[in-house]
Amino acid sequence: MEQSPDKVKAANNDVLISALKHLGVEAQASGRNDLVILDNKKISGSAFKFNLGRSDGSGKKYLHHGTMLINVDLDVLKNYLNVNKQKLLSKGITSVRARVENLANVNPEINHDTLSNEIIKEFLSRYEGCEYTVTGLTEDDMKAIPEVKRIYEEMTSWEWLYQKSPDFNNELETRFAWGVIDIQVEVKGNLIVGGKVFSDCLFPEFIDNLNDIIQSQTIYYDEDGMKLLCDTLAIRVGDNPTQQGYIDDLKKWLPTAL
């Protein structure tokens, strides 16, 4: 008897939950596509694709792909997810953040291999008697497939990573020993297309130069762009040692503030 997409999705989740239980992790399905553990901490997110096949009912296919949070730097992950929405006004799509946990924090013996092997074993035990193929794909295997290679190269290109980012406004603000600096920029396709710098710095010409560079030159909103901004400012400042010291501070701070 054919199963509905919802039943197939639930069955796949049961495989994952049982595999995790064999590794000492009590998990459960939550929401549409997540798996969570104690205190509702998320460990997995999934997506599903259903091809209902031909009109005679044959050719049905179910694709389930997802993630398992095994052992990542949660502090770094938190920084990526913890956007200050008062300062970053994005025109892109927002997502709902959830508390997360590493599986290795629950059971230190869990790694990519132990988890994969347990999932495979559980899947085969559930569908004993059915024909199946178990395939492990390496990065080289994927690159050998022309269409996959094309997509991989596109999505790792500079144009995809930066020029296709949503337009947004951002405010970068900090305090140095020489004063507060507040840089407000408008970004389109990762290019700074407008902005204004405010500061209580004792050298107004330093801030005027910074404003002029941001407003009149091609500066990308990335680490290389911030280096170019500082290098251009250094040329304008010349041999003024005090202002060159200010630029040294900017060089250290700006890449971390993006």
Each residue's pLDDT tens digit, 74-102: 877 776 665 554 445 555 555 555 688 99
Least confident of 25-29, 93-97, 221-225, 250-254: 93-97
b or e along 147-172 (b: 16 or more beta carbons within 10 Å of the residue's beta carbon)? eeeeeeeeeeeeeeebeebeebebbb
Between residues 135 and 23, the one the model is more confident about? 23
Could you tell me how far CA 161 lies from the centroid of its own chain? 11
Determine the Cα angle at 97 with ends 32 and 80, to 5°: 135
30-62: pLDDT as tens digits:
877 889 998 889 999 888 888 777 877 777 788
Residues of the chain with CATH 3.30.390.50: 168-257
pLDDT of the residue at 249: 96
pLDDT of the residue at 92: 56
DSSP H helix total and E strand total for the chain: 10, 9
Q: Is the pLDDT of residue 66 over 60?
A: yes
18 is written with which tokens?
Answer: 């049982």
State the Cα–Cα distance between residues 211 and 216, nearest whole angstrom.
8
Question: Considering the chain, what percentage of its residues have pLDDT values greater than 90?
Answer: 50
CATH architecture of 168-257: 2-Layer Sandwich (3.30)
Burial zone of 242 (CB within 10 Å; 0-12 exposed, 13-18 middle, 19+ buried): exposed
pLDDT of the residue at 1: 46
pLDDT of the residue at 227: 95
* Helix 5-22, helix 112-126: angle, nearest 10: 130
pLDDT of the residue at 157: 86
State the Cα–Cα distance between residues 11 and 6, nearest whole angstrom.
9
231 contact partners, CB below 8 Å, separation of at least 6: none
Q: Is the pLDDT of residue 15 over 90?
A: yes
CATH class for domain 5-136? alpha beta
pTM, whole model, 2 decimals? 0.59
**Which residue is it, tokens 């024909």?**
131
Residues of the chain with CATH 3.30.930.10: 5-136
168-189: pLDDT as tens digits:
888 899 999 999 999 999 998 8
pLDDT of the residue at 3: 65
What stretch of H or E contains 1? none
b or e along 181-208 (b: 16 or more beta carbons within 10 Å of the residue's beta carbon)? bebbbbbeebbbeebebebebebeebbe
pLDDT of the residue at 22: 95
pLDDT of the residue at 204: 92
Q: Is the pLDDT of residue 241 over 90?
A: yes
